[in-house]
Chains A and B, each alone.
Chain A
Amino acid sequence: MDVLLQQILNGLILGSLYAMVALGYTMVYGILELINFAHGEIVMLGAMVAVSVLALLTALGVPVPLALLAALTAAVAVCVATGVLVERVAYRPLRNAPRLAPLITAIGVSIVLQNLAMIFWGRQYLSFPPVLDIQIYEFAGATITNVQILIVAVAAVTMGGLLLLVQRTRLGRAMRATAQNREVAGLMGVDVNRVIAATFAVGSALAAVAGLLIAAYYGIAHYNMGFILGLKAFSAAVLGGIGNIPGALLGGLLLGVIESLGAGYIGDLTGGFLGSHYQDIFAFFILILVLIFRPSGLLGERVADRA
């Protein structure tokens, strides 16, 4: 029983990281109907910048809370700038082009960001400076650390903030209007370009926070960490219902738990026929199954247009 509890805990922590990244996909998709392949790379940038700044500042003897705050600020600044720039340069000119075009540029941008990061930071892994004093708590046979609790707390707070932003503010209303119908929103006086840029900015800021948390949790950052993470987060967004913010949250948590339980139990369940080597397959299988049988996801409304 303690093993099961531990696996569910593992899954929830992994899942809250997925959920934060999935939000970025879901917001952009909701408004532009575009899979922003580069979003995973923005998370990577956030992690790399945060780790670099933190390493620099702690080496200079800056107090830890201040250094953490500076790292977070720098990561958010770089990610927001990159996100908005990518939208402006690579997506906006193609907003009315055939669907294939922005999709291909999105892949291109993702490759470009990844390789620029590789050239800038090199191929070695960056290590997160040991500034967080890890405490291990035990209950009912399972363990949880203060860093893990922090991750879940930060994720919960940022996602709550996002919901407030979208539901309660003028900008949020403009976003929802643009998502429903871009042309009509424009006619109603919404500056569509500004709203879309703001969407990218908010999504990228979330990505920066997620990047910092991931680097802190696993202790490492690498130019290659974004793509697979992005794919899994996208699968989570689809599972929850793409374009739907609570859906991204639910999808992320579910995917995390499914992966954890899957990797933990598939070997025993299949008598050793399948093992934890198939851990990465779950996300893709879920993606394919959901898209075929319920393209609107768990929480999305049924969309008539999927042809």
Chain B
Amino acid sequence: MKSKLLIALMLSSAAWAASAAAETTVKVGVVAPLTGPQAHLGKDIENGARLAVDAINASKPSLGGQPVQFSLMVEDDQADPKTATVVAQKLVDEGAKGVIGHLNSGASIPASRIYADNAIPQVSPASTAVAYTHQGFKTTFRVMANDSQQGKALGQYAVKLGKRVAVVDDRTAYGQGLIDQVVKAVKEAGGEVVGREYTTDKSTDFTAIMTSIKAKKPDVVVFGGMDPQAAPMVRQMRTLGMKTAFLGGDGMQSAEFIKLAGSAAEGAIGSSPGLPLEKMPGGAGFTQRFGEKFGKVQIYAPFAHDAAVVLIQAMLKAGSAEPAQYLPELVKTQIDGVIGPIAFDDKGDLKDGPVTLYQVKDGKWQAVETIGGPAAN
């Protein structure tokens, strides 16, 4: 029994000594799916953060008078909730002072508990589920408009097109969360929700629900879900002879949707959080700097870039990389990022997160209107 304790003591003190060795660099974690179907988006996040960190390191930063360098610890959460907690634990153990990530809300939420338990701030560049910042943790932040802001924009826009709104969601956390917000916004804007139908994220046949929706004679149909469902859905709507407007969130605002839906995509409207890249205040410069090093921006690079900037600026301002010291500075963040002005509300959500609406015209998504954010003023 004694020897066991001894071994344990030795082992744990060895681990402690190892962590104390590296001091002049501050480690910041970056987590996103780097393998699997979303690998390209995860890489986008990693590269965006790297661009920011490289630029800051080149400016010879100092913390409380000491010169300091920032290094990224990059981890792969495979877009899987369980793996997310495993890599979150890894980042915590290996001394990350802050975390940029995760991509998927389903990964960000379980991981946030581990960061919060260890008092490590987490800034997500991409997770939009409302629940992520509403768990009562003081360490969760995001630099992208959440589903509630997006749902509100979609709902308001839908009522502009017509008062009778029918909604469909795909029973995923994303689809259901978005549509709940749409329903609320539609009612607030004086519209009427005439039908609410449901499908799944694996369905291809929507004729039954579309037939019941058709019978309720809506002016607009809003779908919360992804492009593989949105595309056949809009096709089946058209073959049922419905000429109703079709709206959806960022899950269907993709090139894939146009490819899959073909000519039926024409006129469909999709929203997406944030400004279009070319309309971001720092968009042009960012596209160029990013292009030189990493190539084409997918979606999340500018957001990951700003997440890294926000995190490191707070450390520099506080003169410390200790979470307890710089967290108050992070809360008070007030900067002009690539994506626009960044400040957090009391939950850690982006204040006035803008949402842009796009419409398919001649087989391409074209920005129609931006709701919220600085462009609205």
Using a CB–CB cutoff of 8 Å, the interface residues on chain A facing chain B are 3, 6-7, 10-11, 13-14, 123-125, 127, 130, 134, 136, 138, 143, 145, 214, 218-220, 222, 224-225, 228, 259-265, 267, 275-277, 279-280
Contacts and interface: CB of A to CB of B under 8 A. Distances in A.
Contact of B208 (A10, A219, A225): A10
Ordered nearest first, which 4 A-B pairs have the shortest CB separation? A277-B198, A263-B208, A10-B207, A123-B37
Nearest to B211: A6
Given A127-B262, A143-B239, A276 B208 contact: yes
B211 A219 contact: no
Given A3-B212, A280-B200, A143 B241 contact: yes
A145 B239 CA distance: 7
A66 to B, nearest CB: 22
Contacts of B192: none
A305 B262 CA distance: 52
Contact of B262 (A130, A143, A263): A130
A260 B207 contact: yes
B259 interface: yes
A259 B239 CA distance: 20
Interface in B196-219: 196-200, 202-205, 207-209, 211-212, 214-215
Contact of B205 (A3, A7, A127, A218): A218
Given A10-B211, A276-B199, A225 B241 contact: no
Contacts of A222: 228
9 contacts: A10-B207, A11-B208, A123-B36, A127-B259, A127-B260, A222-B228, A260-B208, A264-B208, A276-B199
Nearest to B198: A277
Interface in B163-218: 171, 196-200, 202-205, 207-209, 211-212, 214-215
Contacts of A267: 197, 212
B138 interface: no
A7 B211 contact: yes
Contacts of B324: none
Given A263-B209, A276-B199, A277-B198, A125 B239 contact: no
A3 B263 CA distance: 26
A228 B211 contact: no
B235 interface: yes
B256 A125 contact: yes
B221 to A, nearest CB: 14
Given A125-B256, A219-B232, A264-B208, A275 B196 contact: yes
Chain A CB count within 10 A is highest, among B171, B199, B205, for B205
A40 to B, nearest CB: 12
B240 interface: yes
Contact of B204 (A13, A127, A225, A276): A225
Nearest to A127: B260
A145 B203 CA distance: 21
Contacts of A225: 204
A98 B331 CA distance: 64
A221 B197 CA distance: 24
B204 A220 contact: yes
Contacts of B202: 224, 228
B91 interface: no
Interface of B: 36-37, 171, 196-200, 202-205, 207-209, 211-212, 214-215, 227-228, 231-232, 235, 239-241, 256, 259-263
A264 B199 CA distance: 12
Nearest to B239: A145
Contact of B171 (A125, A127, A265, A277): A277
Nearest to B196: A275
A220 B197 contact: no
Residue from A228, A261, A279 whose CB has the most chain B CB atoms within 10 Å: A279
A219 B235 CA distance: 9
A241 B244 CA distance: 42
Contacts of B239: 134, 136, 143, 145
Nearest to A228: B202
Contacts of B232: 218-220
Contacts of A130: 262-263
Nearest to A138: B241
Nearest to A145: B239
Contact of A220 (B211, B215, B228): B228
Contact of A276 (B209, B235, B256): B209
A7 B211 CA distance: 7
A299 to B, nearest CB: 25
Nearest to B37: A123
Contacts of B228: 125, 220, 222
B256 A219 contact: no
Contact of B241 (A125, A136, A260): A136
A6 B256 contact: no
Contact of B209 (A3, A145, A220, A264): A264
Nearest to B200: A280
Nearest to B195: A267
B212 to A, nearest CB: 5
A219 B241 contact: no
Contacts of A134: 239
B169 to A, nearest CB: 9
A54 to B, nearest CB: 14
B262 A3 contact: no
B374 to A, nearest CB: 35
Contacts of B261: 219
B79 to A, nearest CB: 11
Contacts of B241: 136, 138, 143
Nearest to B168: A276
A276 B228 CA distance: 19
A83 to B, nearest CB: 23
B208 A259 contact: yes
Nearest to B210: A10
Most chain B beta carbons < 10 A, residue from A7, A262, A277: A277
